[in-house]
Amino acid sequence: MTKKTFLHDEQVKLGARMIEFAGWMMPVSYSSIIDEHKTVRENVGLFDVSHMGEVFVQGQDSLEYLNKLVPQDVAKLTDSKAIYCQLLNKQGGIIDDLIIYKLGDKKYLLIVNASRIDEDLNWMVRNKLGFDVSIDNQSHNYSLLAVQGPKASDLMEKMGLKKESQPEFFSIKRAELFNINLFVSRTGYTGEDGFEILVKNEFSELLWSRLIEAGKEFNLKPIGLGARDTLRLEAALHLYGNDMDEETTPIEANLSWSVSKTKTADYNGKEVIQEHLKTGGSKKLIGLKMIDKGIARHGYEIFYNGEKTGVVTSGGVSPVLGENIALGYVKNIKDICTGSIVQVMIREKLYNAEIVKRPFVQKKNKAT
């Protein structure tokens, strides 16, 4: 059965075109994807991302437990700070990518992908043996709203959270807006400055309506999944199931920056990860900008010197650049590098593309 967020009816009232995504009915767009995309890049957009999962982990061994699950060094987290990392299987493959927030002593919040909640929880429980830790899945009790764009901070101040009290980048804090207790983090999935607001379901409609009203001054618009995807692609942010999966390590996915090089604690897949840090693995993620007129879509084959070398994982039009861009995997060989020309098979014809540096559009959120 397809689930609906607590904000479903509010979105329909605003004219959202709804589709099924990861088992949820979600808005794909309200006006047009390009219009919504530019709203986030130029002003501020409001997203309902309540399909995401929220799992609280706490207990005497919570630090040691989380350190077993991810390649980041969770011990380096101080209170209210967050890290981006991956949940790994025994072979170093990515079960999911997630953000871990340290809420306090031996208490953490994990935000996980909607499509992977069950798999994540199953893996976490399987790895719990021997650890004094509790795993509390609260995904069904919380809504998550994202406020993203260059005017996001101004909007949050108007909502009652003064700029000097707003969390720093990749930090979280408890706050109160309109007598509602909630969590506010300075994170997002757009490459812009912004916030994610975690609130109990029963207060989500009130918060949504207040944001819509206060946001009029800043030309705020509600944003659907379509623009969310084009925004994250321009910022070269990965989408689970497209740009990473259980057959791919963080090193191959160009996420080496999120893997600790000094972590002494053992973790799932560590031996493979350590080897890939030296060799790079068997494949590597690249960014493509189309030279010939054509759009590289998910699943299209990539060729180099007449031979198939990989596959496109995400692709589309960049509204900011006005060009066709893509992410994809190719064989990990030196000859295929930034500046190289490859071809993408589009409807049985090869189209030229150049390997370019990522992100395609400069991030404005101080991300790594």
Of 94, 17, 89, 3, the residue nearest 53 (C-alpha): 3
Calculate ∠ Cα 135-139-141, nearest 5°: 110
Q: Which of 219, 234, 249 is the last residue of a domain?
A: 234
Report if residue 123 sits inside a domain. Answer: no
Q: Is the pLDDT of residue 306 over 70?
A: yes
Report if residue 291 sits inside a domain. Answer: yes
Cα dihedral 12→14→15→18 (10° resolution): -40
- 223 & 151 share domain: yes
Q: Which of 234, 268, 297 is the last residue of a domain?
A: 234
How many domains are there within the chain? Answer: 2
Please state the rounded mean pLDDT for residues 329-337: 97
Provide φ and ψ at 242, rounded to 5°: -105, -65
Other Cβ atoms closer than 10 A to 298: 17
214: which 2 tokens? Answer: 């206060």
Q: Which of 195, 215, 234 is the last residue of a domain?
A: 234
Report if residue 16 sits inside a domain. Answer: yes
Residue 1: pLDDT band with limits 50, 70, 90: confident
Q: Is the pLDDT of residue 295 over 80?
A: yes
Other Cβ atoms closer than 10 A to 25: 17
Residue 365: pLDDT band with limits 50, 70, 90: confident
Other Cβ atoms closer than 10 A to 2: 11
Q: What is the pLDDT of residues 24-40, one digit of tens each?
A: 999 999 999 999 999 99
Q: Is the pLDDT of residue 289 over 50?
A: yes
Provide the pLDDT for residue 366: 61
Percent of the chain past pLDDT 70, that is, above it, reads: 99
- 35 & 160 share domain: yes
Strands of the sheet with 45-48, listed across from one edge: 172-177, 180-185, 194-200, 142-148, 45-48, 221-222
Please state the rounded mean pLDDT for residues 50-65: 98
- 292 & 219 share domain: no
Provide the pLDDT for residue 284: 98
- 213 & 288 share domain: no
CA distance 42 to 148: 10
- 230 & 291 share domain: no
Strand pairing report for 142-148 and 134-137: unpaired
Q: Is the pLDDT of residue 52 over 60?
A: yes
Burial 184-218, CB ≥16 within 10 A → b, else e: bbbbbbbbbbbbbbbbeeebbeebbebbeebbeeb
- 289 & 224 share domain: no
Report if residue 103 sits inside a domain. Answer: no
- 175 & 286 share domain: no
Please report which helix (H) or strand (E) contains residue 24, including its range. Answer: strand 24-29
Q: What is the pLDDT of residues 226-268, one digit of tens each?
A: 999 999 999 999 999 999 999 999 999 999 999 999 999 999 9
Residue 153: pLDDT band with limits 50, 70, 90: very high
CA distance 113 to 195: 17
Residue 368: pLDDT band with limits 50, 70, 90: very low
User: CATH code at 320?
Assistant: 2.40.30.110
- 230 & 286 share domain: no
Q: What is the pLDDT of residues 160-208, one digit of tens each?
A: 999 999 999 999 999 999 999 999 999 999 999 999 999 999 999 999 9
Please state the rounded mean pLDDT for residues 139-157: 98
User: CATH code at 220?
Assistant: 3.30.1360.120
1: Cβ contacts below 8 Å, ≥ 6 apart = none
Report if residue 42 sits inside a domain. Answer: yes
Domain that includes residue 228, residue range: 3-49+140-234
- 325 & 223 share domain: no
- 218 & 145 share domain: yes
Other Cβ atoms closer than 10 A to 132: 12
82: Cα separation from own chain's centroid: 14
- 160 & 229 share domain: yes
- 184 & 306 share domain: no
